């Protein structure tokens, strides 16, 4: 469960990790050669294996994001006719994916959310935004990414069992519907956690049903 303390939030090791992740994303944008980008990509990949202490577990955790990155790189190569640009795109985002996996594996989501609040705290003091709400929305969006990949894997598995078309168009419609349904579940879970909601549904039609899958996402 994500909780917040009163007063100035603590930065902690999770905040340093988030700053490092931001710094890595900025640094990779200035590297435009495969020989340069292979270094952070290799370091991030090796670090992910070390954190999980297993190559199989590390690959299982980043298989879907890396597959999406590889597909994007192939589309880039097909659209531009440049293999170097596709390799640069793949190495750049592979480094970020592996680094993000390391951060999420070492620190809990509550620690990362608290660190995000600490990063946004100066903007909160200036009255530009609400640090707690903004951090919650950002972390919820990040937490939703692996859920989307799980939905894609389930749809692909169901299509394979039924011997249906495995094209991207056959995946888009059921994936879109599942994302909309899961988003509605998350919204209801947020209502359940809100102190002012009194566990009453929108429109005053009675208590909301429990949503275990959404609670798993938010916990």
Mean pLDDT, 10 residues at a time, over the chain (219 residues)? Answer: 51 82 88 88 91 86 82 82 84 89 84 85 84 80 72 77 69 79 76 56 45 43
pLDDT recorded at residue 166: 63
Q: Which residues pair with 138 in a beta bridge?
A: none
Contacts 24+ apart (CB under 8 A), 188-195: 188/214, 189/214, 189/215, 189/217, 189/218, 190/218, 193/218
Instruction: Specify whether the CB–CB gap between 131 and 121 falls below 8 A.
Output: yes
pLDDT recorded at residue 10: 67
Instruction: Specify whether the CB–CB gap between 147 and 182 falls below 8 A.
Output: yes
Instruction: Specify whether the CB–CB gap between 152 and 171 falls below 8 A.
Output: yes
pLDDT recorded at residue 7: 55
Q: What are phi and psi of 103, to 5 degrees?
A: -60, -45
Q: Choose among 117, 122, 152, 111: nearest CA to 138.
A: 117
pLDDT recorded at residue 46: 92
Instruction: Specify whether the CB–CB gap between 152 and 133 falls below 8 A.
Output: no
CA gap 55, 13 in Å, rounded: 25
CA 1 to chain CA mean position, Å: 18
pLDDT recorded at residue 117: 86
Give the gyration radius of the chain's Cα atoms. 20
Predicted structure pTM score: 0.64
CA gap 143, 214 in Å, rounded: 11
**Lookup result for tokens 């969006």:** 141
């Amino acid at each position: 469960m994500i909780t917040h303390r009163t007063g100035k939030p603590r930065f902690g090791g999770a905040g340093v990790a988030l700053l490092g992740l931001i710094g890595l994303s900025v640094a990779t944008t200035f590297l435009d050669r495969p020989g340069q980008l292979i270094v952070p990509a290799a370091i991030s990949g090796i670090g992910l294996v070390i954190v999980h202490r297993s190559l199989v577990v590390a690959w299982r955790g980043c298989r879907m994001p890396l597959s999406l990155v590889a597909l994007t790189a192939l589309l880039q190569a097909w659209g531009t006719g440049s293999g170097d640009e596709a390799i640069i795109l793949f190495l750049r985002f592979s480094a970020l994916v592996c680094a993000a996996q390391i951060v999420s594996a070492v620190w809990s989501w509550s620690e990362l959310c608290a660190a995000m609040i600490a990063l946004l705290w100066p903007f909160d003091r200036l009255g530009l935004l609400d640090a707690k709400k903004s951090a919650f929305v950002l972390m919820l969006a990040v937490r939703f990414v692996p859920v989307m990949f799980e939905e894609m894997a389930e749809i692909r598995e169901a299509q394979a069992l039924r011997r249906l078309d495995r094209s991207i168009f056959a995946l888009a419609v059921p994936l879109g519907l599942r994302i909309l349904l899961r988003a509605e579940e998350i919204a209801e879970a947020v209502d359940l956690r809100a102190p002012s909601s009194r566990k009453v549904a929108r429109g005053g039609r009675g208590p909301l049903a429990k949503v275990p899958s959404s609670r798993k996402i938010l916990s």
